[in-house]
Every structure is written in structure tokens, then in C-alpha cells.
Chain A
Amino acid sequence: MNLPPPAVNADSREFWEAARANRLLIKRCDACAKVFFPPSYLCPRCWSDKTSWLDSAGKGTVYSYTIMARAPAPEFAARVPYVVALIDLTEGPRVMANIVGPHALETAVGEQVAVCFEDRSEGWKVPQFQRAVA
């Protein structure tokens, strides 16, 4: 079974469309400059409805991670064991991704990671991260 493509709604469409072009988008409030993720209609700090997409440099630190030994759904079973991590981007927001690539299972809290893009079906891609030291 193939790894699933992202689920797209009106809040997430631009994010996933950008990922197809190898871009990791986050949001910035035009009024108070808060940088945030996940995207939403209002700035979660000042409630301004003027917000803009911002290209993340795709660098971050592992805040925490787990190695999944049991998949939550059949489409992830072939990937087990895999790393799910929370990554603090240098711009501020925290995102979830898998740590993929060489020595991914040796991921540690606090280490540097960089974005990469993983192909899914129908041309969709998902932002993933690789260990900088790998």
C-alpha cells in the first residue's frame, strides 16, 4: 500500500500546492509579525485577518521525536519503523514531519535537520526532514 497523499482543504491547499514545488510555507501576520503554523484565517496572537505566506528556509531543530513501531493505519505499515518528529523551524513555528534519509533512526532531541521533499501519489509531495549530521 502506498503512503497517502495529503488531505487538502481551503486552509491547507496553498501549503500543499507549494510543497509540490519543493517549498515549505508558513504564515506571518502582516499586523504583528507573528510567524505561525498551522495556517489559519486569523493571526492566533492579534486576530488580524491580514496574513501572508512566507517561505521557510527549511532548517530546524528536533524538539522531540518517536520511533513508530506500530502503524496507525495500513498505508504506513510498510514504513515501520519510522521516525515522527516535531521540528522547531529557525523562523519559530513548530512542524511535524518524518525524519528520513541516512541514519534516520538515530535521530536525537536537539539536533539540526533540514527539509527535503518526499514524493506521494498524483504528484503530491510532503515536506520531510533529514539529519544534518547524517
Chain B
Amino acid sequence: MSAGPGSELPLRNRTAIAGIGESDIGKLPHMSGLALTAQAAKRALDDAGLAVGDIDGLLTAYTLTEPFVMLGAVLCEYMGLKPRLCASMVAGGATPAILLGHAAAAIVTGRANCVLVCTGENRASGVSRDTAVSALASSFGHPYFEYPYGNSIPGSYAMIARRYMHEYGLTREQLAQVPVVTRRHAALHPNSHMKAPITVEDVIASKPIASPLNLLDCCLISDAAGACIVTSAARARDLAKPPVYLLGIGERHTHEYIVSAESLVRFGVTESGQDAYRMAGLGPEDIDIAQLYDCFSIVPILELEELGFCKTGEGGEFYAAGHAALTGRLPVNTHGGMLSHAHAGATGGMLGIIEAVAQLRGECGERQAARADTALVHNEGGILSSHCTAILGREPR
């Protein structure tokens, strides 16, 4: 494969996130998935200081709880938009960051001026938990070769954790540090779904799901939506809030089903990150905060390593030593991630993007990181199958 297009493409510094909006979060049976998305979109638009008529593009993901196939068109109809650009993309949890890249490309190439990127799902209230788990299993396990074996999404990530423990000697206690540190961050965010403090012992004593993963190693199931307004860097500078520039973005897609993953300890995070770093002209040492995908406790450990924040096999120790905490060397998931802030389909990753923007603007109050000039967001979908890394900054590079 070629060295990558990152350095040649003129996306660096050209676009910015001008507005962010998060819906109410939790178990909200009075809100449909569309309503949650509209609420987040309205908040993002207000945040940017823009009017409805300014939006000329809409990019969204998918929903498993409501019977809408053309979700982008459905959302346009629901919100009274008639944009010149609209698409619904399905790359699992990697979708939001991928949408950010497409929004930036659309703006730089003149296909749209102001793109609403939004995701939302009523996954806590829209279906029963059994239906949600079963829908996920049939969506992300191979329907023709894996279904008879009763695997699940947690089962696949558990096999990743098991293999990682086998190869690198990660302990159960180190693994449990991930949800513990993340919960501490969630407690500092007013909109988090879960805030009660937890300990390593609580994680290890929580209900077994798929060994070695227990309930508290697994992300939440929430009703939640998120939105951001992407526009040109020049225009963003004249809007209500300080722009947050897109400095670099990269993707990698290696497989869909776990049986076709070449390794369970090394995924496409590395190449996705390398393309993003190359476009931004930055390296891991230049990143102040990271919003990593944390659908299960093992995932941020792998991502820290593949993104170059620590050596292979040392991600667990990174957490155990406090480096991922708000006061640490690289604050990770300062809003509480999917483990504690919220997770609803593609929205988990979107909330990481929103938190990165809030941190870079310095709006985070008691959970504000001491240094936040650059942020890295990594989204992944499937079974660490699809990846997108975005690097954001307070200043252009």
C-alpha cells in the first residue's frame, strides 16, 4: 500500500468544528432517536451562533432501534432541512470521525459550506436489552458462519482481552483500572449517564459477561445523541465560539468479523493514526489529550499502544500508573467515555469528538485538562475492524 495520501491532501487547517451539541443522556423513554438527534443538532447550531438556513449539508450514521434505512433523508425531513449534500454512513463506532473527514472534504471542495454531522439513538429505551444485544450480535457476528456458536460483541472483545493477557501478561487488576479511571472522569461531567465511583474490586466482582470481561468492563447502553457543525476555517473564525481546527484525519479498514482479524493484539489503529499524524504534521508526543474508543476496557489499552502513546504491552500499566487520568501525562476520555458517560450506537464516538472540542476551548470546568492545545480522537467500529483517527487543535498548524 502507498505511503498514504495524508501529506498531499489539502485538508489540514482548512475546516473547523464551530459548534457542538449533546442531547440529554440516560434512559429517556419520552424521546425518540430522531428527537434526541434533533435536540443535539439544535444545541450545536445555537453553540455555533448559526441559523437553520445556514446548514447546507447533513451527514449521519445509522440506527438499530428505529426502522429507518435512509436515516439522513429521514433526519432532513424531521428537521425541515433541504441540504445540497446528505448521506448516511455505516461504519459502526468509527462512523462519527469518518463523517468529520467527509464533511471537511465536502467543504474544502466547495460542495457544502456548513455541514451538520449528527448521530443519535434511543438504545436504552427504544428496544429491550435482550433485543439490543441480539441485534448487535447478528449485526457484528458473521451471520452465515458464526451465528450457530452463540458469540456476542462482548464475547469477541473478551477474546481480544484474553489473547492480549496471554501475550503481554496484562493483569485483571490493570484491566479494571480502565473503567475505574474513566468513571472518575464521568463524575466531573454534568451530563454523564453513570457517576457513582467504582473500585478495581467492584469491576472484578461485577457480573461476569464473557470472561475475562465483567459488566463494568462493558460500555453503557444509553439514549444519547451528539452533533457538530463543521465549516470552513475562515468562516469559523467569525462565529460565536473559538474554532477547533481539523489538523489531520486517517482511516483504516482491515476486516469485519473477528475470525478474519489477522491478529487480536494489533489492529488497523496504527495505520489510521499514522495517516492522521502525517496530515497534521504531529506525532504522539505533541498530543495533549486523547478521546479513545472504549466500548470495552481492553480497547483503550490497545489504542494507546498503536497510537504511539506507550510501548506495545504497556497500555495496562499506563492506566495503572495514572497516566490516563485527568492529572496524568495524557488525560484519556475526560468526559467518562462509553464506559461511563454514554454509549448509543454511533453516538459513543461522537461524544468523544464533542468532548475534545470542549476541552480545546477550555470549557470543561473542574474536568478541564491543564494543557489542551491538541486532541486526538480515535473511533473504531465492528470488532476493531474500521478505524478513524482525527487530530484537532486550538490553532492551525
**Which residues of B have CB within 8 Å of A76?**
150
Question: B152 within 8 Å of A by Cβ?
Answer: yes
**Which residues of A have CB within 8 Å of B144?**
6-9, 11-12, 38
**Which residues of A have CB within 8 Å of B133?**
70, 72-73
Listed residue (A69, A97, A110) with the most chain B CB atoms within 10 angstroms of its CB = A69
Count contacts on A: residues with CB < 8 A to the other chain.
40
In the complex with contacts A74-B130, A86-B259, A6-B159 CB distance below 8 A: no
**Which residues of B have CB within 8 Å of A4?**
147-148
Question: B209 within 8 Å of A by Cβ?
Answer: yes
Contact B134 A69, beta carbon cutoff 8 Å: no
Contact A65 B162, beta carbon cutoff 8 Å: yes
Give bound CA distance, A94 to B260, whole Å: 7
Give bound CA distance, A48 to B259, whole Å: 22
In the complex with contacts A72-B137, A79-B150, A38-B145 CB distance below 8 A: yes
In the complex with contacts A98-B149, A110-B166, A66-B155 CB distance below 8 A: yes
Question: B151 within 8 Å of A by Cβ?
Answer: yes
**Which residues of A have CB within 8 Å of B159?**
64-66, 84-86
Contact B145 A15, beta carbon cutoff 8 Å: yes
Contact A64 B264, beta carbon cutoff 8 Å: yes
**Which residues of B have CB within 8 Å of A72?**
133-134, 136-137, 141, 150-153, 155
**In-complex Cβ contact of A68 among B130, B210, B259 (8 A):** B210
**In-complex Cβ contact of A120 among B148, B154, B209 (8 A):** B148
Task: Give how many A-B residue pairs fall within 8 Å (CB-CB).
Answer: 116
Interface residues of A in 1-30 (CB under 8 A from B): 3-9, 11-12, 15
Question: A126 within 8 Å of B by Cβ?
Answer: yes
Interface residues of A in 28-86 (CB under 8 A from B): 37-38, 63-76, 79, 82, 84-86
**Which residues of B have CB within 8 Å of A97?**
149
**Which residues of B have CB within 8 Å of A98?**
149-150
Question: B197 within 8 Å of A by Cβ?
Answer: no
Q: Closest A residue to B144 by CB, please name it.
A: A12
B104 to A: closest C-beta gap in Å: 32
Interface residues on B, range: 35 or more
Question: B371 within 8 Å of A by Cβ?
Answer: no
**In-complex Cβ contact of B152 among A7, A64, A68 (8 A):** A68
**Which residues of A have CB within 8 Å of B154?**
70
Question: B14 within 8 Å of A by Cβ?
Answer: no
Question: B163 within 8 Å of A by Cβ?
Answer: yes
Q: Closest B residue to A36 by CB, please name it.
A: B260
B298 to A: closest C-beta gap in Å: 12
Give bound CA distance, A101 to B163, whole Å: 22
Give bound CA distance, A110 to B149, whole Å: 20
Question: A95 within 8 Å of B by Cβ?
Answer: yes
B167-206 vs A, CB cutoff 8 Å, 1 = contact: the mask equals 0000000000000000000000000000000000000000
B263 to A: closest C-beta gap in Å: 9
**Which residues of B have CB within 8 Å of A132?**
none
Give bound CA distance, A98 to B152, whole Å: 13
**Which residues of A have CB within 8 Å of B149?**
84, 96-98, 126
Contact A70 B146, beta carbon cutoff 8 Å: no
**Which residues of A have CB within 8 Å of B264?**
63-64, 86
A60 to B: closest C-beta gap in Å: 13
In the complex with contacts A5-B148, A9-B144, A70-B154, A94-B166 CB distance below 8 A: no
Give bound CA distance, A72 to B129, whole Å: 10
**Which residues of A have CB within 8 Å of B148?**
3-6, 120, 126
Give bound CA distance, A102 to B371, whole Å: 56
A-B contact pairs, 11 of them (CB 8 A): A7-B144, A38-B145, A66-B212, A66-B213, A68-B151, A72-B133, A72-B150, A75-B150, A86-B258, A94-B260, A96-B146
Q: Ordered nearest first, which 4 A-B pairs have the shortest CB separation?
A: A76-B150, A72-B152, A66-B158, A72-B137
Q: Which residues of A line the B interface, CB within 8 A?
A: 3-9, 11-12, 15, 37-38, 63-76, 79, 82, 84-86, 94-98, 109-110, 120, 126
Additional A-B contacts beyond A3-B150, A69-B208, A69-B210 (8; CB < 8 A)? A38-B144, A38-B259, A65-B162, A71-B152, A72-B134, A79-B150, A84-B149, A110-B166
